[in-house]
Amino acid sequence: MPRTRAIWRQVGHFLDAAAFVWIAALCSLATLWGTPAQAQTVTRPQAQATTQVQAPAGIQPQAERQGPPALEIPAPLAGQQERLIYHTGYTVSYNAAWRLPNWVAYELTPEETSGPAKRADRFIPDPTVPFHETAGTDDYRHSGFDRGHMAPAGDMKWSEQAMRESFYLSNICPQHPALNRGIWKRLEETVRRLAATRGSVYVVCGPLAADTARRLGGIGDRSGGQGVAVPHGFFKALLQYADGRWAAVAFTFDNAGSEKPLSDHTLTIDSLEILTGFDFFPTLPDSVETAVERETDPTWWGL
């Protein structure tokens, strides 16, 4: 019996030593593998402030824009739906409730007043707007309204991509044919002339609409039964540096034809801000913004 107990004592010592070796090996492997993922802490660098397109699932957003907004971009809207979308030739503040832009803004340089790109004439939904928030081409069919551009195709001839994107329905509003083909077109031509002869023009334009507006279409799943709001009017604001100073002018139109000269449709930027609730050209120095927005001279603009 004593010999048997001695043998078992030696076996126990052997097992203790083996267990120690096994535990040590496991500790070494844990060191090599590192701590479990859930216990790791990763410090990420702080991202720079950006403005990013909100894109629907499955669509890659466009490139983020870093730094201060461009000169033509109004201040963020308060109390109104807004989705900022950046395209090649213009920026849109999109209102899903109206299926319209709140505003469209762009800079037109002298070099961009002409180019080889042919008019696309293919109206399609903006691919960055969710399916259930966009207008459809059928909404305008037999409506009696034109699909009126805010950023005109005529200002996008410098780029085939910019031309194609100008036909996105996020850049389109229901316009009376007499307006779209009449005085609105004359103003677009005036802006191109000003840019070509005097330098860059900063443009902001859009509809004058309300939640109670008449609706077009609204049939089927795309528009969610809401349809496209019909604006009661339109606005356009211009800013330009020429002759050694900044100047600005605003225009408003009923959604109807007009035989009046463009000068009869002018008003100050201050007056347009009261009408729309928008803050135009907010990145101008305060002293310059105050001066150019409180007065306007149609003759300076050649009107």
Residues forming beta bridges with residue 85, ordered by sequence position:
92
Among 87, 132, 149, 265, the active-site one is 149
DSSP of 221-270: TTTTTT-EE--SEEEEEEEEEETTEEEEEEEEEESS---S-GGGGEE-HH
Give yes or no: 176 in active site. Answer: no
The C-alpha atoms of residue 274 and residue 295 are separated, in whole angstroms, by 14
Distance CA 206, CA 102 (A): 6
Residues carrying an active site annotation: 149
